[in-house]
Chain A
Amino acid sequence: MKDILILGIETSCDETAASVVKNGRHILSNVINSQVQIHAQFGGVVPEVASRQHIENIALVVDQAFADAGLEYQDIDAVAVTNEPGLVGALLVGLSFAKGLAWSLQRPLLAVNHLHGHIYANMLEHEDIKFPAVCLVVSGGHTSLLLMQDINHYQVLGATRDDAAGEAFDKVARFLGLGYPGGPAIQKAAQEGQAGKMKLPRVFLDRQDYEFSFSGLKTATMNMKKKLEKAGELQVCDLAAEFQQALIEVLVEKSLQAASRYGVESILMAGGVAANQELRSLMEQRTESRKIKVFCPSLSLCTDNAAMIAGMGYQQFIRNCYASLRLNAYPSLSSL
């Protein structure tokens, strides 16, 4: 059978990324231009600044993806692009470029949901995932728990009612003066501190459903900081460690509850927060004694990249699910 080569393009937030993936599995190139340094001076991602970076970088990044893969433009079979969810202005740069490229090459356009891409990142590295599986999607914009029948079919068991996990990391990191981006900053501080020296709430852990809420935890952390400060007892690293622990315990326990209720043997993790070391090791630890295998992408495929978009695009290509040239970009989730 002929190899299928898909170009993936991803510009939903602050990374301009392009990648060529063969047969939905083999990454031939994976180029990521991160704007994190630029946004750090603003204390978070500024949508207009991100869009301005994307339009200047996009051609170079895509060209590099072809060069790294040793391919000519004509060699690809289709162009896959993230069109939701994300920052609309940022998405539109990747989407418009992808349309122009696909049309010019007379290749099909494939629309990929950014979160489907994150989930698919697992398929790029693991061949032994047993379905059905439970999947924990945790990123800067989303936190949800899915029951997956296979890579293309799933139902949402629950999601966050307010802040996403990554958002809580960012806000708390800023409040604690640990900098941006918040995930790595809190993880680093937590390594210097110890959880359990004070007690923060494990929100919704007493409930029997799969809903999350992190806004309350964020507020509790802020109040705790003020209280400790007043008493002259504030150890930022300890507080960061307790915050991280409180957040990931909820993620892990809810995932386990879902796994046992639905009798699945695999738990998948996806999204930027899945790069958190404590989350990964706690999930491993808690599943060890049960017959459940945990899968997560390697660190570089947890954060935003285009290989996952090309991979998910392949799934659509083989089903002839092509997008129209009228395809638009959407900020929020239409389906997940």
Chain B
Amino acid sequence: MLILAVDSSTPVAGAALVEDHRVLIESFINYKKTHSETLLPTIDRIMKECDCSPADLDALALTVGPGSFTGLRIGMATVKGIAMAAHKPIVALSTLDTLAANAAGSDDLVGALLDARKNELYYGFYSMREQGPEALQEAMVGTPQAVVSQARELMAQGQRVILLGDGYYRYGAYFQQELQEQLKVMPGHLMLPRAAAAGILAVDKAGQGEFEDLYRLGPVYIRLSEAEYRLKKGEI
């Protein structure tokens, strides 16, 4: 099973080709250029490098959020365009699940954190299973304080907590101060979502026929837009 995986939910533009549980090629760009400029040239490059055309793919995999609203849409629009023209199915992955997969094999509690701005984070807590990360709660948005109290609640006796994601970079000092020796941090190459991880997770989902409807698929924003929020509060 050949899968092209795409992730543009954070400042990283990632793309990977995986064949069954083997990564053939991966591109990870965490540099200042915008996703709209880098994403498709990256896809083009890795596909050519592996002598693949869209017709060779069995499916496309995509991280659908949470994350940067615009980033999520760039990835999703790109993947929808490719998938529609090539008549290929799409597998959707949570960005937080994908991020948590970087801590595979750990016995500790895993917290995936993405910077949500406005002094908040998108986060999810996981315990790692053989078949991949298992979410212990719904993905949420909340303050660093909420993250710490969630972590304390979920940590079992003797367990530590691994925090990863660009949300950690932003509030690292606070988490260190609060969690001290209970905190574990991943090395830099595992701190941000990897398209290769999304591809590997997608292989199992695709195997189980978990595909999305191209015509209905939308990003998982978690947050309403500012205007919708104000409308709901009766301010508009």
Interface bin, chain A: 35 or more
- Binding stretch for chain A, among B23-31, B123-131, B220-228: B220-228
Other-chain residue from A51, A62, A326 in contact with B84 (beta carbon distance below 8 A): A62
Contact A100 B81 (CB under 8 A): yes
Contact A52 B77 (CB under 8 A): no
B173 contacts A by Cβ under 8 Å: no
A336 contacts B by Cβ under 8 Å: no
A198 contacts B by Cβ under 8 Å: no
Residue of B nearest to A107 (CB): B85
Contact B227 A104 (CB under 8 A): no
Contact A49 B225 (CB under 8 A): yes
Contact B227 A49 (CB under 8 A): yes
Q: Quick one: CB contact mask for B154-170 with A, threshold 8 Å, 1 for yes? A: 00000000000000000
Interface residues in B39-68 by Cβ distance below 8 A to A read: 39-41, 43-44, 54
B219 contacts A by Cβ under 8 Å: yes
Residues of chain B with a CB closer than 8 A to A43's CB: 236
Least CB distance from B57 to A in Å reads 10
Residues of chain B with a CB closer than 8 A to A89's CB: 69-70, 73
Other-chain residue from A51, A62, A96, A325 in contact with B41 (beta carbon distance below 8 A): A325
Q: A55 and B218 in contact (CB under 8 A), knowing A96-B77, A104-B85?
A: yes
How long is the Cα–Cα vector from A151 to B54 in the complex, in angstroms? 37
Contact A97 B78 (CB under 8 A): yes
Interface residues in B82-106 by Cβ distance below 8 A to A read: 82-86
How long is the Cα–Cα vector from A99 to B44 in the complex, in angstroms? 11
Number of A-B contacts (CB under 8 A): 117
Other-chain residue from B78, B217, B225, B226 in contact with A96 (beta carbon distance below 8 A): B78
Contact A92 B70 (CB under 8 A): yes
Main secondary structure of the interface of B (DSSP, over half): helix
A73 contacts B by Cβ under 8 Å: yes
Other-chain residue from A73, A94, A328 in contact with B85 (beta carbon distance below 8 A): A73
Residue of A nearest to B69 (CB): A48
Contact A95 B36 (CB under 8 A): yes
How long is the Cα–Cα vector from A43 to B227 in the complex, in angstroms? 11
Least CB distance from A210 to B in Å reads 35
How long is the Cα–Cα vector from A23 to B227 in the complex, in angstroms? 42
Q: A100 and B219 in contact (CB under 8 A), knowing A51-B70, A92-B70, A325-B44?
A: no
Contact A41 B236 (CB under 8 A): yes
Contact A55 B40 (CB under 8 A): no
Contact A96 B81 (CB under 8 A): yes
18 contacts between A and B (CB under 8 A): A52-B218, A55-B76, A56-B218, A58-B77, A59-B80, A60-B215, A63-B215, A92-B73, A93-B77, A95-B36, A96-B73, A96-B75, A99-B40, A100-B78, A100-B80, A100-B85, A103-B82, A105-B85
Interface residues of A, Cβ cutoff 8 Å to B: 41-43, 46, 48-49, 51-52, 54-56, 58-60, 62-63, 73, 88-89, 92-105, 325-329
Interface residues of B, Cβ cutoff 8 Å to A: 34, 36-41, 43-44, 54, 69-70, 73-86, 214-219, 221, 225-228, 231, 236
